[in-house]
Amino acid sequence: MLKSVGAALVAKDYASAYAFVATDARGEVSFDEFKEALEAYLERFERGLTVAVKVEPYDREGSSQVPDALKGRVVSEGSIEFDPGGDDEGFTIAVWIMMEGGAPRIATFFVGD
């Protein structure tokens, strides 16, 4: 799922990437907010970005960006790393993943350098 999100974002296909945001989380993150948060990072790069993903179990004891209403449903956390290559610095999207209808979906995310 995260590889698909990363590929959609590299293609600047925000709608396809947003389709992986859980329906129950969309009250917290609208499409416009999602696009605005990511567009500023993605628009900096004119050449191709490589994407790497990592996923690990969710640490329920650690601090988190997850809204209280969704915390009990989060099953893992991960990252999508975008690397432009060369000397340019990329960026990372931290994601928290929940299951929805038997499929993994993004509960929330955070973008940073």
Query: Residue 56's beta-bridge partner residues?
Result: 77
Tell me the HSE value of 72 on the side-chain side, using a 13 A CA sphere. 1
CATH number of the domain encompassing residue 49? 3.10.450.100
The H-assigned helical ranges of 29-102 are 31-42, 68-71
- How many Cβ atoms sit within 10 Å of the Cβ of residue 66? 20
The count of domains in the chain is: 1
The H-assigned helical ranges of 2-46 are 2-10, 14-18, 31-42
What would the two tokens of residue 82 be? Answer: 């975008």
Domain that holds residue 32: 2-112
Task: Please report which helix (H) or strand (E) contains residue 30, including its range.
Answer: none
Q: Specify the pLDDT at position 60.
A: 79
Tokens 């915390």 identify what position? 71
Residues 55-103 pLDDT 10s: 999 887 776 678 788 888 999 999 999 999 888 889 999 999 999 999 9
pTM listed for this prediction: 0.90
